[in-house]
Amino acid sequence: MPPAHRRLEPRRKPRQVRAELTRERILTAAAHVFAEHGYAAGTTNRIAERARISIGSLYQYFPNKDAILAELLIQHIDRGTWTEAADLDLSPGTLEATVRALIRDAIDNHSDDPQLLRVMIEEAPVSQELIDTIDRHTKLRTAQVRDVVARHPDSRVGDPDVAADIILFTVEMNTHKFMAAPRTVPVETFENELVAMVTRYLRGDQTP
């Protein structure tokens, strides 16, 4: 493993409840510090002070703030939840409602503090664990979306596999960008426009 990746590895994987609680306290404190002060000013000293532990104790768990931010992003990805195809109404005439449920999942998964989301998107270093986490979730979510696209009777796309890739990329990238930006447009407006766009694509509509 390259040195850059080792630099981002947590130093200590807790095995006891007390150690796990300390680790989570560090991550919670870091989330507040990064959101309030930004990444540059979000020092490990500030994080340790917010977590009410010594800086030496912090370094027992994480080698630097890069590793802490990388872990926060991994947690953010792992905590995302998605509606399964089995829980959706895939009967004729429900395509728009189905699309809305999928997009609402993405919005809900990014509804935390926008300042922290912005820091994670713009500043988080790429660790091997982060790459593996993104790859794992992308494969899982693509399969879920493909299942919906292939099974819904109102879907008119030619290739469900390609369609699932396009939809997932479009929804995730736009939701990331919108939810992390200073809010100038209501979330409902963003949701409605994205739902309309994806629904028209799946129906094969030729006119707006």
Rounded to 10 deg, the angle between the 128-151 and 65-78 helix axes is 20
Q: How confident is the model at residue 1 (pLDDT cuts 50, 70, 90)?
A: very low
Please state the length of the chain: 208
* Higher-pLDDT residue of 14, 142: 142
Answer whether 52's CB lies under 8 Å from 14's CB: no
As to burial, measured by CB atoms within 10 angstroms (0-12 exposed, 13-18 middle, 19+ buried), residue 61 is buried
Residue range 38-90, pLDDT digits in tens: 999 999 999 999 999 999 999 999 999 999 999 998 988 888 878 888 889 99
**Higher model confidence: residue 145 or residue 123?**
145
What is the pTM for the complete model shown?
Answer: 0.79
Least confident piece of the model among 6-10, 20-24, 117-121:
6-10
175 and 127 Cβ atoms separated by less than 8 Å: no
155-169 mean pLDDT: 95
pLDDT in tens, 119-132: 888 887 888 888 89
The answer to whether residue 11 scores a pLDDT higher than 80 is no
Separation CA 160–CA 201 (nearest Å) = 12
Helices within the chain (DSSP H only) = 3-6, 17-41, 44-51, 55-61, 65-78, 95-109, 114-123, 128-151, 160-180, 187-203
